[in-house]
Amino acid sequence: MKIKENLEELICAGKISTRSSETDVFEIEASDFDKAIQLLIKYNKKAGVKEYQMLKEAFVLGELNEYETKPNSFVRNLIETATKRTSSIEHRRIQSEIYAMYPTSEHYKFSETIGKISEVFNSYNNQKHLANWYKLMLAITEQKVSALQEWMFKQGTEGKSIREMSADDFQEILVVLEEIAQANNEQEIEDGKYRQ
């Protein structure tokens, strides 16, 4: 298993979470299948050898699904295959050997640390996006407030208080507010608040 080539890019983009970080940080490679096949030969698991030879071929051709290429799934499946019909003592011995070949606990600790670092970048990217969103929404709201202030001043100069205004007077300002919203694509901006 190796660390993904684009790890730095994934970290800076905030794409690694602490919940799925091992899968995001590590990836299996063809040599992992070779090691698995040698282990299965050692423990005389002929069906397992054939299965992992076929899996390796499918991996090289890019035909395995995402679940089958996850490092933790790979190790779990190998343990299951290698320990079929074994005593509990032999099961533990084989399992220990597999964990020595594929140090998943070390991978987990490393991945968890990478996940925490990546979450800082993720938070930063989210905050930048939200700051920009608020800036856009503030500009639209300022235009609406300005229109409302003009409208209220106009109504006041005509001697009308809010209590004396008709439905037509209110409809006039609602149309202006809607025009401002449409001119600034307010609904599209509103919908984009949580999309990046």
Per-residue pLDDT of the chain (196 residues; tens, 9 = 90+): 888 888 888 888 887 776 666 677 889 999 999 999 999 999 999 999 999 999 999 999 999 988 888 888 999 999 999 999 999 999 999 999 999 999 888 888 888 888 888 889 888 989 999 999 999 999 999 999 999 999 888 887 787 777 888 888 889 889 999 999 999 999 999 998 887 7
Q: 150 and 127, same structural domain?
A: yes
Domain tally, the chain: 2
Asked which of 114, 138, 167 is the last residue of a domain, the reply is 114
From residue 30, alpha-carbon distances to 11, 56, 82, 116, 137 in Å are 25, 6, 18, 29, 51
Note down the domain range covering 101. 2-114
Q: 164 and 103, same structural domain?
A: no
Long-range Cβ contact pairs of 48-53 (< 8 A, separation 24 or more) = 48/81, 48/82, 48/84, 51/81, 52/78, 52/81
Token readout for 26 is 């590590």
Asked which of 71, 99, 114 is the last residue of a domain, the reply is 114
